[in-house]
Amino acid sequence: MTLRQQLMRGGVGSIAIKVLATGIAFGLAVVLARVLGPEGYGVYAFALSLIMLLAIPAQVGLPALVVRETAKAQAKDSWGLIRGLWRWSNLFIVVFAVLMVTVGALALWLGRDWLGEPRWQTLAVGLALVPLIALANVRGAALRGLRRVVLGQLPESILRPGLLLVTVLAAVWWSNGGALTPVGVMGLHGLAAFAAFIIGAAVLLRARPPGLRTAPPPEYQARYWRRAALPLAMLAGLQLIIAHTDIIMLGIIRSDEEVGVYRVVVQVATLVVFGLQAINQVLQPYFARLHAQGELVRLQQLVTYSARIILLLALPPVLLMAAFGGPLLDLLFGAEYRLGALALAILALGQLVNAAMGSVGLLLNMTDHERDTVKGVAIAALCNVALNVGLIPPFGLEGAAAATAITIVIWNLLLWTYVWRRLGIESSAITWRRR
């Protein structure tokens, strides 16, 4: 089977999972937006963004490291090294997750008066998500490193949001349409995450290749792993800052209603890059393997082929959101969310650039150039904070959207340049003949 055929087989499965996950996420967003209303949904979105900020330091960059090192070790049949990597990474996750939950609890105790009761209670319940999300992401990374891409996405992309959607609908039905609070939804989210975690652990146990089932003695390269994980941890944190600064700052400066509307707009806009997100799950181990084997010609072919597929998948939703954003938000979420139409168009255009530039960050990370990714994303994160500070107070939703869209363009252009300098590879869908 050729590399392109392998990519197509994995890509079809990954895209199918992504389509299903997007459908579930959309269904969940529609239900929560209508049941909680803009204000309640804003409280939930604000709390969830802060929980995600805590979950990233708890992972200390290990998911990307586990994918890369698992793929490299499997290519060499180094099963003991894989076993040692998984054991070491899970121990680190537990230690850092406990630390971040402690930090979060202390921050809640100090900031109770400032946060207000609804936000404080929702955040307190949500702290339980931090270790569950961190451990689940490492488990999914282990499966993707073994090239079990679909299985690697199933628990977190399908089961967790799917179980949350089912339990929310059940709660609404049980209460005969009674009011569901942000605190209640966060509690249901914790239950769904725990169930998905248990199922995911069983999936990984059954998916182990024969070389791992024999329980070889674990081998450790702790010093190398720690050194490699540091820039990946910084990268993950910076990316999360970019992803959630707009929502958090909007929640600090503007009303919960605007946060709720903007959260809906962000979720809709991510449809533009669902192809990028789905195909990246497939590309991770192939990028690592081809680079480790020195096959740069095949790597360029794979990068170009995947980038063009990603761009083609991104174009239809961008056109739909730019032309019919208002009616789309009205139809799906209700008339009160229609005011996010312009913000949706702005974010969609920014995400189109993200899709067109290809898998720039992933390519650098999987070829041992993660420090360049950190440098580019750090510059973009600083720009993002400054843009949000400058644009949200006068422009609200549209200012947050513009800040995020400009940031997306900045980091993609920087990483696109670094990919060419380090690897001599053109990552974008449009091949620029640079010499």
428 inside domain: no
pLDDT score at 12: 59
pLDDT score at 368: 80
Instruction: Kindly report the length of the chain.
Output: 435
Tell me how far apart the alpha carbons of residues 78 and 70 are, in angstroms, rounded to a whole number: 9
Tell me how far apart the alpha carbons of residues 198 and 202 are, in angstroms, rounded to a whole number: 7
- Residue 170: CA atoms inside 13 Å, Cβ hemisphere, count? 8
Tell me how far apart the alpha carbons of residues 99 and 40 are, in angstroms, rounded to a whole number: 29
Tell me how far apart the alpha carbons of residues 293 and 285 are, in angstroms, rounded to a whole number: 12
Tell me how far apart the alpha carbons of residues 30 and 50 are, in angstroms, rounded to a whole number: 22
431 inside domain: no
Q: Is the pTM of this model over 0.85?
A: no
Task: Report how many domains make up the chain.
Answer: 1
Tell me how far apart the alpha carbons of residues 312 and 309 are, in angstroms, rounded to a whole number: 5
Residues of the chain with confidence (pLDDT) below 70: 1-15, 58, 60, 177-178, 281, 431-435
435 inside domain: no
Tell me how far apart the alpha carbons of residues 125 and 48 are, in angstroms, rounded to a whole number: 10
Tell me how far apart the alpha carbons of residues 124 and 187 are, in angstroms, rounded to a whole number: 10
pLDDT score at 228: 79
The distance in angstroms from the start CA to the end CA of the chain is: 34
Angle between helices 397-423 and 370-395 (to 10 degrees): 160
161 inside domain: yes
pLDDT score at 43: 92
Tell me how far apart the alpha carbons of residues 111 and 103 are, in angstroms, rounded to a whole number: 12
331 inside domain: yes
429 inside domain: no
pLDDT score at 435: 41
pLDDT score at 8: 52
pLDDT score at 54: 81
Q: Give SS3 for 369.
A: coil
434 inside domain: no
- CA 285, 291, 294: angle at the middle one, nearest 5? 140
Tell me how far apart the alpha carbons of residues 338 and 327 are, in angstroms, rounded to a whole number: 7
Domain of residue 272: give its range: 3-423
Q: Provide the token pair at 145.
A: 């490193």
